[in-house]
Amino acid sequence: MGGLAIRRALPTRSLRMVGPWCFLDHLGPAVLGGGTDLRVAPHPHTGLQTFSWMIEGEILHRDSLGSEQVIRPGQVNLMTAGRGISHSEEAVRGTTGLHMAQLWIALPDAVRQGAPAFSHHPELPRTEAGGVVVTVLAGRHAGLAAPGQFDSPIVGLDVRAAAGAATELELAPDFEHAVLPLEGGARIDGTDLRPAEMLHLAPGRASVAVSFPGRGHVLVIGGAPFREPVLMWWNFVGRHPDELREAGAQWNAGHERFGRVRGYAGPPLTAPDPAGVRPAG
Ligand code: MN
């Protein structure tokens, strides 16, 4: 992908999950062209929902359900893998600036073998106060409800602020949360955060003080602590090493559980050597 900056904020050595959120890549802000592009060939997922939050640029999503959807700034794509799905993603021709967050949400055991699904959410509720705009990406906040369907208690917020703005952000006391600056710095409950530094907030708080020395933009994710042991390998979320190895072998063999992505120009990705699958630590 050339010079496209991708920062893996979750999982890390010290923080595996935040509620059901189990993966967070922050892409950009980047300028495409000159050898930098976003083009992800067809690949499978199981046991999770992929959650794409577009800040700048346009990406075309295709999946094995037949979905073909461009996601634009201010929109969310939510794909439920369940027992198996496959998809591709590519920057729309003419997209020059790219900035987005790509996340995964672990599905609880009761529904993780369910049917795959895809939904596109072009409009999300937002509230503004004191120069701080909060967009509700997932779950509920300040009396507003995001449109996506989730299987665990969850929240996702995009917070943008003018320089010098400050707010007290409501939190659900039974949730844990994490705050990740996307642009500029932020001061969270007395801690100065720089871009790429994620701050974890343990359950038990009803709010958090957020202020911005300059123009700022942070992502807040949260949820009830996920009590099931989660195992992740390649693009799969499961519980046991054997099911992850089996999913990789089935994908490479063209198994029907992942369907087929139509319309993507190029070969699919190949699952890596399953020797890399490790039991949950
Ligand atoms: Mn994917």
| Model confidence pLDDT, tens digit, residues 229-254 | 999 999 999 999 999 999 999 999 99
The b-or-e profile of 249-268 (16+ CB within 10 A means b, else e) is: ebbeeeeebbbebeebeeeb
Distance (angstroms) between ligand 1 centre and the Cα of 31 equals 22
Distance (angstroms) between ligand 1 centre and the Cα of 251 equals 14
Distance (angstroms) between ligand 1 centre and the Cα of 14 equals 24
pLDDT at 1: 43
Q: What are phi and psi of 247, to 5 degrees?
A: -60, -40
Distance (angstroms) between ligand 1 centre and the Cα of 19 equals 20
Spacing of C-alpha 180 from chain mean position: 12
Residues forming a β-bridge with 47: none
Is the N-terminal amide bond of 267 cis, ω within 30° of 0? no
Distance (angstroms) between ligand 1 centre and the Cα of 211 equals 33
Say whether pTM exceeds 0.85.
yes
Determine the Cα–Cα distance for residues 3 and 248; give it in Å rounded to an integer.
Answer: 28
pLDDT-derived band at 280 (thresholds 50, 70, 90) equals low
Determine the Cα–Cα distance for residues 244 and 48; give it in Å rounded to an integer.
Answer: 13
Tokens read off for 40: 């992800």
Distance (angstroms) between ligand 1 centre and the Cα of 213 equals 35
Read off the amino acid at residue 68: E
pLDDT above 90: percentage of residues in the chain:
88
Distance (angstroms) between ligand 1 centre and the Cα of 70 equals 15
Tell me the pLDDT of the chain averaged across its residues: 95
Distant-in-sequence, close-in-space partners of 132: CB < 8 Å, separation ≥ 6: 159, 160, 161, 162, 165, 166, 167, 210, 212
Distance (angstroms) between ligand 1 centre and the Cα of 136 equals 23
Distance (angstroms) between ligand 1 centre and the Cα of 160 equals 27
